[in-house]
Amino acid sequence: MKNQGIPTLSSSHFRKVYVKPEAEYASSVVPDASNGYFELTHRCLWPDTIAAHRLDFYMIFLVTSGEGLHTFGSETHVIKQNTLGFAGPEMINAWHSKHHDNSGYVCTFSADFFGAAIAGEPSLTELPFFQLGGTSILNLSNEQMVIYRQLFEMMALEAKSTQRLSSATLRSYLHVVVSKARGDLYSQNLRYNYTPQAGFRLVKAFKEVFMADINVIRTGREIQLKLVSEYAEQLGVSQNHLNDTVRDVTGESAGGLIQKQLMHQATMCLKHSSKNVSEIAYLLGFDDPSYFARFYKRHTGKSPSQVRTSVRKSHPTLLGTE
CATH number assigned to the domain with residue range 8-187, chosen from the 4 options 2.40.50.140, 2.40.50.100, 2.60.120.10, 1.10.3720.10: 2.60.120.10
What does the alpha-carbon distance between residue 273 and residue 267 come to, in Å, rounded to a whole number?
10
Residue 242's CB is within 10 A of a number of other CB atoms, namely 22
Number of residues assigned to the chain: 322
**20-34, 156-170, 239-253: which range is least confident on average?**
20-34
Segment 283-299 mean pLDDT: 91
Segment 178-190 mean pLDDT: 80
Rg over CA atoms, the chain: 20
Residue-wise pLDDT for 223-249, tens only, equals 999 999 999 999 888 899 898 888 877
Angle among Cα 200, 203, 207 to the nearest 5 degrees reads 140
Whether 297 has a pLDDT exceeding 70, the answer reads: yes
**Which residues are within 8 A (CB) of 189 and not within 5 positions of it... i.e. 6 or more apart?**
none
What is the homologous superfamily of the domain 198-314 according to CATH? Homeodomain-like (1.10.10.60)
Residue-wise pLDDT for 124-163, tens only, equals 877 878 876 667 889 999 999 999 999 999 998 888 876 6
Q: Where are the domains of the chain?
A: 8-187, 198-314
Residue 12's CB is within 10 A of a number of other CB atoms, namely 12
Question: pTM for this structure?
Answer: 0.64
- Select the more confidently predicted residue: 120 or 102: 102
